[in-house]
Amino acid sequence: MKQENKKLRVPQIFQNRSIGWIAVLVSLIALLGTILAFNVNWLVGVIWLVLVLIALMIIFRTLREMSEDTAKYLANLSYRIKRSGEESALKMPIGLLLYNEKHEVNWVNPYLQHVLGDNVIIGEQLSEVSEKLDQLVTDVTEADEADDQKQLDEQETRINWQDHTFVVKVQPDIQVVYLYDVTENEEIRENYENHRLFIGMVSIDNYDEITESMSDANASSLRTFVTRSLTNWMDAHQIYTRRTAGDRFMLIGYDEGLKQAESDKFSILGDVREATSAQNMPLTLSIGIAYHEVSINRLAENAQSNLDLALGRGGDQVVVKAEDGEARFYGGSTNPMVKRTRVRARVISQALSELISQADQVFIMGHSKPDMDSFGSALGVRRIAQMHDKPSWVVYDTEQEAHSDIKLLLNELSKESRNENAIIAPDEVQNQATDHSLLIMVDHSKPSITESKAVYEQLSGHVVVIDHHRRGEEFPAEPQLVYVESYASSSSELVSELFEYQPNNQARGLTRVEATAMLAGIQIDTKSFTLRTGTRTFDAASYLRSVGADSTLIQDFMKESVESYRDRSHLIEKVQVNDDVAISVGEDDTIYDPVVAAQAADSLLQLIGVTRSFVITRRDDDTISISARSDGNENVQIVMEEMGGGGHLSNAATQLKGITTDEAYDQLVEILQAQTQIDE
């Protein structure tokens, strides 16, 4: 029976369906030809039959040989592939690691064992071998079980293990880990990153003011000291230094040196400041550094721009920034020095007059939720525009909820005939503004916190900035004029100085309410002339008093409602004091007026031993605000900048979206703890 089955078995060649159909087709053609040949003549039919049989034998023999050759080739190829796979697993420079369901190592190939040296890991848990590797295997296994194809495709990662860098890929279905050694590539990449060029610009902030009264010998000695100190410090970090002017230097170096300088927090700032202060010649440095740019010209331009940013923030600090990255700030822990000359105020006043004269109408806009300084300085700038016979308005939405002092100011303003139409709503500005209109931003420089973002965007090509806060990364793209002086106590102080160089026409000068609002802004921002005050501050206050500022009306403005008083007292009651830091956290379901929060932060500084205070409150349904204050010896601006805000060294704030007051508190405490560790 078995023999019969063997005889009836289809030949191997015909098991291929394609070849089988070809054989059937050829056989049918041969049979048809034979029948036709016999119909013609029996002799022709016999000859045809013999020829067909011979041809069929040759064809089938050829097909059989082709099939056998193909089978041999495939068998040989399969063997070679299998052998090469086995050889690659054993000899190729790719690590293979097999594990089981318990995440125990079952086997490693010779290459991986060579990397491990004498360390035998077979039988050990993956977590003991490498926690990161074990976590990766766990994540991939979970993704495979959840059929998360996207996560499986992205599971390749890099780990550092056994002094090597591996690109790791996990195949969970057969429980194998592939480790591709990319150590050499990483070394090449790291070497490339470390040797990318950076350029820095250095300015001695107050060199002219310090040396103007010195003898040539003393000035030369001071200049030599600063040059030597800066050069020695930079040489220690492998940075080339070159003086380009009496108070200017250029820095050139590699990223590796920049990283070393950053790890040292640019201690040269403190070294120069302390050494010169000890000699009663306090000099400070400002540095702007740009990196990660192919074009040398572009690097130099960005370095100068970063230096301008450092100077705009008050100097005595370093700004490190790539063109498409975020700025990193170092230093800035001292109050900026007051300039002794009024030349800049005169130049700004004249430039502002020219811009106003060229405009068809002028719009002045403070920050959202304006305080007295914002509103007072806006009224002052509007009066300057009025003195040039230009239509001008303060942009403010009167429908929004305002603090009691702003309500009282608006009420008093409406009583003056010259100010009956001083306020304009943002919607009206959008309908009224033209391509020749001028927008003046006062008491802020961040478009994100302006009174109306729509108005700013419409007039973004015609913007003037007047502000006393330290300049941040966010800034109008191409302002026509910038007057940012962080040494000033308030924006009202800056604006009041501009009047000295305007047309001398008392009949068209400041009104009683405008002068009072500006003086109130100075008084509130300086905490009744106790913080951030200089001779220029008192000069501005004296000028405002001389043109009619009413101290009695200021007291009325500074009064608060019973509700505000209760809210402030409640926030003070909730204070937590830790070392020298006082923090108050308002309820997450209660909305507090930002002015109340700021007043509470000011009040907390009156507590014994407190040098910094932070008040965290909900501002609206989606926004948490933090008001930060210090006694001037600690820098709260740096803390607020890390949380996306800004301000002054002793007066700063930030706003956070989409979190609770408790989450904001946790973020704040984490930053304060990190700063404490750095200081230690």
Over residues 544-558, the pLDDT tens digits come to 999 989 989 998 888
Per-residue CA distances from 360 to 65, 350, 354, 364, 431 (Å): 97, 18, 12, 14, 14
Q: What is the predicted pLDDT for the residue at 254?
A: 94
Residues linked to residue 243 through DSSP beta bridges, in sequence order: 249
- CATH 3.30.450.20: which residues of the chain? 92-186
Q: Does the pLDDT of residue 411 top 70, yes or no?
A: yes
Q: What is the predicted pLDDT for the residue at 31?
A: 79
Q: Does the pLDDT of residue 11 top 70, yes or no?
A: no
CATH number 3.10.310.30 is the correct assignment for the domain at 567-679: yes
Over residues 77-134, the pLDDT tens digits come to 676 666 666 565 566 678 888 899 888 888 888 888 888 888 888 888 988 888 888 8
Which CATH class for the 195-331 domain? alpha beta
Q: Does the pLDDT of residue 572 top 90, yes or no?
A: yes
Contact (Cβ atoms closer than 8 angstroms) between residue 396 and residue 429: no
Say whether 265 sits in a helix, a strand or coil: coil
- CATH 3.30.70.270: which residues of the chain? 195-331
d(CA 33, CA 40): 11
Least confident of 416-420, 479-483, 606-610: 416-420
Over residues 311-355, the pLDDT tens digits come to 877 788 899 998 777 888 888 766 555 554 567 788 888 889 999
d(CA 503, CA 474): 34
Please, what's the b/e burial string for 155-167 (b: 16 or more CB within 10 A of its CB; e: otherwise)? bebebebbebbbe
Number of other residues whose CB lies within 10 A of the CB of residue 213 = 8
Give pTM, 2 decimals.
0.62
d(CA 145, CA 101): 13
- CATH 3.90.1640.10: which residues of the chain? 343-558
Q: How confident is the model at residue 628 (pLDDT cuts 50, 70, 90)?
A: very high
CATH number 3.90.1640.10 is the correct assignment for the domain at 343-558: yes
Candidate CATH numbers 3.20.20.105, 3.40.630.10, 3.50.50.60, 3.30.450.20; the one for domain 92-186: 3.30.450.20
